[in-house]
Amino acid sequence: MPFRTDHAENDRYHVRAVLRALDVLEAFSPEEPSLSLMEVSERVGLNPSTTFRLLATLEGRGYVEHDEATGRYRVGVAVLRPTSTFLAHLNVRERVYPFLVDLRDACRETVHLTVLDPRTMEVIYLEKLEGLEPIGLMSSRVGGRSPAYCTAVGKALLAHQNPDTVRAFFSRSGLKRFTANTITSVDALMAELEQVRERGYALDNAEHEDDVMCVAIPLWNHLRMAVAAISVSGPVERMTRAIREDGLVDRVLAVGRMASRQLGAAPSGEAAPRSPALHRTV
């Protein structure tokens, strides 16, 4: 039988269509991973017409799959998305926090830890460690959001999403200009993300906030999925000097490899990063 909540006092907030869709998903089990329309209908207690519409909706989003040859349904791979997100974020901050502290203390600049919300293509800040050097106001805050396309942490994560999905999203939403350096062309963004994949790190060259430069890298889990990103951020002049003279990119990459191992990533023989391209991205 489908799962039913015991919290009846909250029923007035429930959306019946959502509950029915969840009932359909919960009709499948390891013992019965494949069901016909009539079998699903019987298990959820709905007529076949309503059940078919629910299945068609779930199929359209990848939560169920329909075998045309047999006419039977099974759970689709999309159900792994929320599960993977939950597992990835569950202990990310706790596992990574010591590395963030070490990185901040070594670089003396502000350090961020973020994850990507794929629905809105925004980054969510899980942690922010203020730098030890003076800096003007930086708008990032724990729990806050920023557009992914014009932040280093965002580009580090977007680079490892499905390129067709990224292109389609920003073709619809557009790219708002925040500074003179903000990327406002989808083609330019896609080219930038390709560079991020090749060199292993992302740059924000004052693209979201004036005079704020960032270097970011993705963090990997045991499935080699980019589940979070960390960055070092500071004034353009100091960051430019740190990148050119103090090996900042190598330091961030090294911390990223160690932090990724804490998230389950196996050690990998990554190639040395290319020299940073300190250019205006317009």
pLDDT, averaged in runs of 10, over the chain (282 residues): 43 82 91 92 95 94 90 86 60 88 93 91 92 80 91 96 94 95 96 95 95 94 88 94 93 92 71 40 31
φ, ψ dihedrals at 233, nearest 5°? -130, 145
CA distance 190 to 193: 5
Give this prediction's pTM: 0.66
Write out the residue range of the structural domain in which residue 53 sits.
8-75
- Claim to verify: residue 22 and residue 54 sit in the same structural domain: yes
Is residue 278, in this structure, part of any structural domain at all? no
Unique residue bearing structure tokens 């353009």:
236
Q: Which are the contacts of 2, defined by CB distance < 8 A and separation ≥ 6? A: 22, 23, 26, 27, 43, 44
- Claim to verify: residue 95 and residue 58 sit in the same structural domain: no
The answer to whether the Cα torsion of 37, 43, 49, 53 is positive or negative is negative
- Claim to verify: residue 128 and residue 63 sit in the same structural domain: no
Q: Which of 243, 235, 262 is nearest to 113 (CA)?
A: 262
- Claim to verify: residue 128 and residue 215 sit in the same structural domain: yes
Q: Which of 249, 269, 278, 2 is nearest to 107 (CA)?
A: 249
- Claim to verify: residue 232 and residue 130 sit in the same structural domain: yes
- Claim to verify: residue 219 and residue 159 sit in the same structural domain: yes
- Claim to verify: residue 62 and residue 181 sit in the same structural domain: no
- Claim to verify: residue 190 and residue 136 sit in the same structural domain: yes
- Domain CATH for 20: 1.10.10.10
Three-state DSSP at 156 gives helix
φ, ψ dihedrals at 254, nearest 5°? -65, -45
Is residue 280, in this structure, part of any structural domain at all? no
Is residue 55, in this structure, part of any structural domain at all? yes
pLDDT of amino acid 140: 85
- Claim to verify: residue 129 and residue 146 sit in the same structural domain: yes
Q: Which of 112, 281, 105, 114 is nearest to 203 (CA)?
A: 281
- Claim to verify: residue 57 and residue 177 sit in the same structural domain: no
Is residue 37, in this structure, part of any structural domain at all? yes
- Claim to verify: residue 157 and residue 237 sit in the same structural domain: yes
pLDDT of amino acid 31: 82
- Claim to verify: residue 149 and residue 34 sit in the same structural domain: no
Is residue 59, in this structure, part of any structural domain at all? yes
Q: Which of 28, 55, 75 is the last residue of a domain?
A: 75
Give how many domains the chain has, as a whole number. Answer: 2
